[in-house]
Amino acid sequence: MSTATATVVLMPKLSDSMEEGTILSWLVAAGTEVMAGQDLLEVEADKANMTVEAEAAGALEILVEEGETVAVGTPIARIGGDAGAPVAAPSPGELATASKAPAAPDAPVATPVATPTPTPTNGAGPLGDTRRSTPLARRLAQVHGVAIDLIATGSGIGGRVVKADVLAAAGIESKTAPEPTPAAAPEPVSEDAGSGAAARVETPKGGSETIFLSRLQVVIARRMAEAKATVPHFQVETEVRMDAAIALRGELKAVAGDGPVPSFNDMIVRAVALALREHPKANGSYIDGAFELHDKVNVGIAVAAEDALVVPTIFDADRKSLGEIARDSRRVAARVREGAVTPPELAGGTFTVSNLGMFGMTAICPVINPPQAAILGVGKTRAVLQRGVDGEIEDASLMTLTLSCDHRILYGAEAAEFLGAIRDLLETPLRVAL
């Protein structure tokens, strides 16, 4: 008697740093006949949530339940085959496919995650979300008893329900959203409690609250610790006179019309991209005793998200105009803040810009994002008095740039030349605007 062949579904690798994933929800019930290409489940990766499609047709057998976290390459379901038959170990080819991170597209298309309609339990809690919503919105809806599917229109992209919509429906201002009231005698909360779970205990120090990290925060902490421990850092710093850039932005404001006015950060990204094209080692990586120089110039921009720092990518930044960079940066930053950013939009970066100037910081020494060769820290533009070329005292606007470098691929003189090229472009900003 022959046994029908089943297609094993493995936990996929959705980003270059993903090691494990959590099954948020199965979009198809066990035993249902699925079609190839049909949305199968929603997975929480280290950087974003994604839907996984069925690669074959047949009846679905679920091996890993919702809420469970498993390593990349672990069998989580199978499609087709005889029910109850043992799951064969995945072949090396299947493991390689699951472990392969998605390549960064030339023009990344963001696909928001569709959330299935859950069944209310004993009539308690919010009703099921029949439209798209962010994971944070769903968690807040559960806490505050909000029925997401009764929210008329979400304020996110494509009508997606985001945090602010849930808090508004609950009658809470987003800046002062209260946390659930802890029980009088709380039990210890394990790491399995999930993102943002907290336990409050009384200690000799007074009240103490433990807040468990989200998957993204855990990944950030681990990668930054690895970078400081394994990458030999050094920094070079320079000051840029921004008077000409300020004047140019004023002119761009006057002619921008309804389009976005490029920010100073957009100018910096454009200057960095042009300088990277002329300094390929700064656009490379040190990997296993070799220099890997990348063909594309993809600049990541650090964006402060909900309790984390996320770095979406501006792809082919050296080939884009200043206006295109301005539009791209606003789009991806908005998607990060709404929780709608996808792994392809976070992958493929070859260099990173981290700007804390808008927070009033005069300088920042950022930590390299491995395996990139360097990261640029940007401080605020500040007014100073300095002597001119003829010795006269004059007003000037200065901005501090700090370049953190991997000494295995970039040496001091090379780093200084690269940072000097960025400075020269910003001090003659018409070259950036071309």
3-state secondary structure of 413: helix
Question: What is d(CA 132, CA 108) in angstroms, rounded to the nearest whole number?
Answer: 20
The strand pairing partners of 402, in sequence order, are: 237, 377
CA–CA separation, 8 and 77 (whole Å): 6
d(CA 399, CA 205): 42
Buried b (16+ CB within 10 A) or exposed e, 8-32: bbbbbbbbbbbebbbbbbbbbeeee
- Is 407 designated active site? yes
**Residue 239, H or E segment:** strand 233-241
Instruction: Classify 50 as helix, strand or coil.
Output: strand
Nearest C-alpha neighbor of 241 from the set 397, 379, 388: 397
164-203: b (≥16 Cβ within 10 Å) or e: bbbbebeebeeeeeeeeeeeeeeeebeeeebbbbebeeee
SS3 283: helix
Beta bridge partners of 77: 9, 62
Quote the tokens at residue 279.
Answer: 């300094």
| Rounded alpha-carbon distances, angstroms, from residue 129 to 23, 160, 340 | 17, 11, 16
Catalytic residue selected from 144, 233, 294, 407: 407
Known catalytic residues? 407
